[in-house]
């Protein structure tokens, strides 16, 4: 695809080497400080962080109630919402961030223990549930230049038990009704919140990813339930919630609770009492992130990946202009068309609509109505012939050109290549990009190409990057307002810890994309979640699960040995724009 000529180079910092250190490294002239780690007092009684849980045998540790008043665990996707117009907005805002999952040994005992499988109490389950979800954190920049949490009524914790609403075509559907909620409209909680998005009307989107592993499925399910739960991999009770909380037990007569997860959830961060809404029109998958783009005609388009091997890339297009829909009291995320991508080997692609009654999505094939198409999104996409990808993670849109990018993190079980997934197996991951037909994001066809194949570099294992820029398992991805592409990793690296690199998408060097390593994470962490203030002078990045296999005490500045997921605040010593 043509993307115009390269202008001024986008990258101005001096790249850093890979690192195996238990500290965050950024380029010369930059500073990185840990901020709002898991357990930071956030609201209510503002309980101080104390490692461990009393009922797990750790006297003096934080209770479940404490955890509900503290920042959650395992920071992931994140958005900065300014609280003012103009310059002040870059010094005072709401940082909204996801808490994807928990490392239970650190949560319950404060120390690394593997395997960790004790008998759980109700209190331990509740603490685990309260460490999940989303935090809304009011923050401000002090005169010293450091950012601080504000003890504010705007601060909020959303957990696995927060009251929510189901909206869109699957709300109230038979498949989302449970014994506790026979109307199928008032689900509780959000879990496994991975990536994020934000809407032009100032709300936050949080994406439910690996919800499937939190349930126990009892025997005796009917054929339909077994097929549906099988397609989403429901089962495993990985956090032992099912031992104490019957909501996470799928019985033959009350089997629909898992169908109330796997959605994109909309949160109004400016209204602490607002009820989060699960937007079913956006489909039910292991949602990685939700990147919103507005078409020239004002329709909202949401790009989304389903993160599992051989799953698909999706987009949702609202039925109308978002302003006029909202003025008529309708959510632009409730009415529209969900599409799944077919990438053809000739470099073209087609968006296939998931619309009941169209093509194979009929009652005869098991889809009674649009609600059923959405609850069974993956099964509908299978029938349409979508292209199986190597774990679609984050999507991003280039604000200058409209080119859309998706990270495909890796797929060690791929034995047969297709155009957009050329390596067998795909050990290191890659990035695909496409341009919508005529530059219209509501179009139903596109042209794609491979942006890069990650790996050790210089052609090793087919990688198309330079050895000095080696990385693997691309996951988080964002193009900033200048179109600098920020790539974050989660998984095996050719060398060192997980990391974040920046790319200039318009430049190549000897055929390889222009890339520079910007940040290296600590032992055992992934680097995920990225946000900037509007002036691009403060960068927020999350380090998730430091020391997941031991070996880390980051962030260390708290005097504790327990590693804690945290945000990293990156600024430039000269106060300049990040990345230039
Ligand atoms: Fe939550 Fe696919 O990473
Ligand atoms: Ca991720
Ligand atoms: Ca991960
Ligand atoms: Ca990942």
Q: What secondary structure letter does DSSP report for 14?
A: P
This prediction has a pTM of 0.98
307 lines ligand 1 (CB under 6 A): yes
Give the pLDDT confidence of 522-572 residue by residue, as tens digits: 999 999 999 999 999 999 999 999 999 999 999 988 899 999 999 999 999
Q: Which ligand is nearest to the CA of 287?
A: 1
Specify the CATH superfamily of domain 30-38+73-101+132-209+262-572: TolB, C-terminal domain (2.120.10.30)
Segment 204-225 shows an average pLDDT of 98
289 lines ligand 1 (CB under 6 A): no
Q: How far away, in angstroms, is 235 Cα from ligand 1 center?
A: 18
Q: Which residues contact 29 (CB under 8 A, 6 or more apart)?
A: 13, 14, 572, 573, 574
Q: How far away, in angstroms, is 308 Cα from ligand 4 center?
A: 9
Q: How far away, in angstroms, is 526 Cα from ligand 3 center?
A: 7
Q: How far away, in angstroms, is 106 Cα from ligand 2 center?
A: 21
- Closest Cα partner for 543 from 479, 485, 477, 498? 498
Give the pLDDT confidence of 245-278 residue by residue, as tens digits: 999 999 999 999 999 999 999 999 999 999 999 9
- Rounded to an integer, what distance in angstroms lies between the CA atom of residue 168 and that of residue 567? 33
Q: Which atom of ligand 1 is nearest to the CA of 210?
A: 1
Q: What is the largest CA-CA distance in the chain?
A: 66
pLDDT score, position 5: 55
Q: What is the average pLDDT score of the chain?
A: 97
Other beta carbons within 10 Å of 296: 10
Strand 348-353 to strand 445-453: parallel, antiparallel, or no bridges (unpaired)? antiparallel
pLDDT at 455 over 60: yes
- Rounded to an integer, what distance in angstroms lies between the CA atom of residue 297 and that of residue 442? 9
Give the 3-state secondary structure of residue 88.
Answer: helix
In degrees, rounded to 5, the angle at the alpha carbon of residue 406 between the alpha carbons of residues 401 and 410 is 155
- Rounded to an integer, what distance in angstroms lies between the CA atom of residue 454 and that of residue 473? 8
Q: What secondary structure letter does DSSP report for 292?
A: E
pLDDT at 506 over 80: yes
pLDDT score, position 536: 98
Q: In the block, which residue shows the tokens 């808490």?
A: 99
Q: How far away, in angstroms, is 491 Cα from ligand 4 center?
A: 7
Stated as kind and residue range, the H or E segment containing 373 is helix 370-375
Q: Which atom of ligand 1 is nearest to the CA of 305?
A: 2
Give the pLDDT confidence of 135-161 residue by residue, as tens digits: 999 999 999 999 999 999 999 999 999
266 lines ligand 1 (CB under 6 A): no
Give the 3-state secondary structure of residue 23.
Answer: coil
Confidence category of residue 7, pLDDT binned at 50, 70, 90: confident
Neighbours of ion ligand 2 (CB under 5 A): 475
How far from 204 is each of 37, 152, 303, 535, CA to CA, in Å? 21, 19, 15, 20
Give the pLDDT confidence of 89-105 residue by residue, as tens digits: 999 999 999 999 999 99
> Could you tell me if residue 167 is left (phi over 0), alpha (psi between -120 and 50 degrees) or otherwise beta?
beta
- Rounded to an integer, what distance in angstroms lies between the CA atom of residue 219 and that of residue 223? 11
Q: Which atom of ligand 1 is nearest to the CA of 391?
A: 2
- Rounded to an integer, what distance in angstroms lies between the CA atom of residue 58 and that of residue 105? 12
**Under a CB-based contact definition with an 8 Å cutoff, are residues 198 and 98 in contact?**
no
Q: Which atom of ligand 1 is nearest to the CA of 76?
A: 1
Parse the chain into domains and list their residue ranges. 30-38+73-101+132-209+262-572
Q: How far away, in angstroms, is 438 Cα from ligand 1 center?
A: 31
Residue 483: alpha-carbon gap to chain centroid:
20
288 lines ligand 1 (CB under 6 A): yes
ipTM: 0.90
pLDDT at 1 over 60: no
- Rounded to an integer, what distance in angstroms lies between the CA atom of residue 433 and that of residue 394? 12
Confidence category of residue 209, pLDDT binned at 50, 70, 90: very high
Q: Which atom of ligand 1 is nearest to the CA of 393?
A: 2
209 lines ligand 1 (CB under 6 A): yes
Residue nearest to ligand 1 atom 1, measured at CA: 194
pLDDT score, position 557: 85
In degrees, rounded to 5, the angle at the alpha carbon of residue 270 between the alpha carbons of residues 265 and 272 is 75
Give the pLDDT confidence of 288-345 residue by residue, as tens digits: 999 999 999 999 999 999 999 999 999 999 999 999 999 999 999 999 999 999 999 9
pLDDT score, position 116: 94
306 lines ligand 1 (CB under 6 A): no
Q: How far away, in angstroms, is 475 Cα from ligand 4 center?
A: 5
Q: Which residues contact 438 (CB under 8 A, 6 or more apart)?
A: none
435 lines ligand 1 (CB under 6 A): no
Q: Which ligand is nearest to the CA of 286?
A: 1
- Rounded to an integer, what distance in angstroms lies between the CA atom of residue 462 and that of residue 254? 49
Give the 3-state secondary structure of residue 73.
Answer: coil
Burial tier of 111 (Cβ tally within 10 Å: 0-12, 13-18, 19+): middle
Give percent of the chain with pLDDT exceeding 90: 97
**Under a CB-based contact definition with an 8 Å cutoff, are residues 47 and 69 in contact?**
yes
115-119, 219-223, 399-403: range with lowest mean pLDDT = 115-119
Give percent of the chain with pLDDT exceeding 70: 99
User: Would you say how long the chain is, in residues?
Assistant: 580
Strand 277-279 to strand 165-167: parallel, antiparallel, or no bridges (unpaired)? parallel
The alpha helices in 197-333, defined as continuous H runs, are: 223-232, 322-327
Q: Which ligand is nearest to the CA of 544?
A: 3
Q: Which residues contact 364 (CB under 8 A, 6 or more apart)?
A: none
- Reported in sequence order, the residue ranges of 202-248 that DSSP labels E, i.e. its strands, are 204-208, 216-217
Q: How far away, in angstroms, is 554 Cα from ligand 2 center?
A: 20
Segment 395-411 shows an average pLDDT of 98
Give the pLDDT confidence of 56-66 residue by residue, as tens digits: 999 999 999 99
Q: Which atom of ligand 1 is nearest to the CA of 490?
A: 3
**Under a CB-based contact definition with an 8 Å cutoff, are residues 515 and 532 in contact?**
no
- Reported in sequence order, the residue ranges of 295-377 that DSSP labels E, i.e. its strands, are 299-306, 309-311, 313-321, 336-343, 348-353
527 lines ligand 1 (CB under 6 A): no
Q: Which atom of ligand 1 is nearest to the CA of 286?
A: 2
Q: How far away, in angstroms, is 274 Cα from ligand 4 center?
A: 30
208 lines ligand 1 (CB under 6 A): no
Q: How far away, in angstroms, is 499 Cα from ligand 2 center?
A: 13
Q: How far away, in angstroms, is 13 Cα from ligand 3 center?
A: 28
**Under a CB-based contact definition with an 8 Å cutoff, are residues 521 and 532 in contact?**
no
């Amino acid at each position: 695809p043509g993307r115009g000529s390269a202008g001024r180079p986008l990258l101005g910092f001096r790249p850093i080497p890979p690192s195996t250190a238990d500290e965050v490294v950024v380029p010369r002239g930059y500073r990185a400080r840990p901020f709002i780690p898991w357990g930071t007092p956030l609201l209510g009684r503002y309980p101080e962080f104390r490692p461990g849980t009393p009922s797990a045998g750790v006297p003096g540790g934080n209770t479940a109630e404490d955890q509900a008043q503290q920042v959650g665990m395992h920071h992931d996707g994140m958005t900065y919402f300014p609280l003012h117009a103009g310059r002040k907005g870059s010094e005072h805002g709401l940082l909204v961030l996801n808490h994807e999952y928990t490392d239970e040994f650190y949560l319950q005992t404060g120390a690394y223990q593997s395997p960790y499988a004790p008998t759980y109490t109700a209190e331990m389950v509740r603490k685990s549930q309260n460490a999940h979800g989303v935090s809304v954190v009011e923050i401000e920049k002090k005169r010293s230049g450091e950012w601080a949490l504000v003890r504010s009524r705007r601060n909020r914790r959303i957990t696995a038990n927060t009251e929510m609403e189901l909206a869109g075509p699957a709300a109230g559907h038979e498949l989302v009704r449970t014994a506790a909620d026979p109307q199928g409209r008032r689900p509780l909680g959000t879990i496994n919140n991975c990536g994020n998005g934000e809407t032009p009307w100032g709300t936050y989107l949080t994406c439910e990813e690996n919800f499937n592993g939190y349930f126990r499925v009892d025997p005796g399910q009917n054929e339909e339930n077994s097929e549906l739960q099988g397609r989403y991999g429901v089962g495993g009770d990985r956090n032992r919630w099912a031992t104490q909380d019957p909501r996470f037990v799928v019985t033959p007569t009350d089997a629909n609770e898992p169908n109330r997860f796997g959605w994109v959830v909309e949160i109004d961060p400016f209204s602490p009492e607002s009820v989060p809404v699960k937007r079913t029109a956006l489909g039910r998958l292991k949602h990685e992130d939700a990147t919103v783009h507005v078409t020239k005609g004002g329709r909202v388009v949401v790009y989304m990946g389903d993160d599992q091997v051989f799953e698909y890339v999706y987009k949702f297009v609202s039925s109308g202009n978002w302003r006029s829909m909202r003025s008529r009291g309708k959510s632009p995320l409730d009415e529209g068309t969900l599409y799944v991508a077919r990438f053809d080997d000739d470099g073209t692609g087609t968006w296939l609509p998931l619309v009941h009654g169209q093509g194979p999505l009929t009652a005869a094939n098991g889809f009674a109505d649009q609600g059923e198409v959405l609850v069974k999104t993956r099964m509908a996409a299978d029938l349409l012939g979508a292209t199986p990808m190597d774990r679609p993670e984050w999507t991003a849109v280039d604000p200058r050109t409209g080119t859309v990018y998706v990270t495909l993190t890796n797929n060690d079980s791929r034995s047969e290549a297709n155009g957009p997934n050329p390596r067998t197996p795909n050990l290191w991951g890659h990035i695909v990009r496409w341009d919508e037909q005529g530059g219209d994001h509501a179009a139903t066809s596109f042209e794609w190409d491979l942006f890069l194949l990650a790996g050790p570099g210089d052609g090793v294992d087919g990688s198309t990057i330079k050895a000095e820029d080696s990385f693997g398992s691309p996951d988080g991805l964002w193009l900033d307002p200048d179109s600098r592409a920020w790539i974050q990793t989660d998984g095996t690296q050719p060398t060192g810890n997980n990391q974040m690199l920046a790319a200039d998408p318009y430049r190549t060097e000897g055929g390889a994309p222009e890339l520079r390593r910007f940040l290296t994470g600590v032992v055992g962490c992934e680097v995920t979640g990225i946000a900037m203030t509007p002036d691009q002078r403060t960068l927020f990045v999350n380090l998730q699960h430091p020391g997941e296999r031991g070996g880390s005490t980051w962030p260390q500045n708290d005097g504790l040995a327990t590693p804690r997921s945290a945000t990293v605040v990156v600024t430039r010593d000269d106060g300049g724009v990040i990345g230039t």
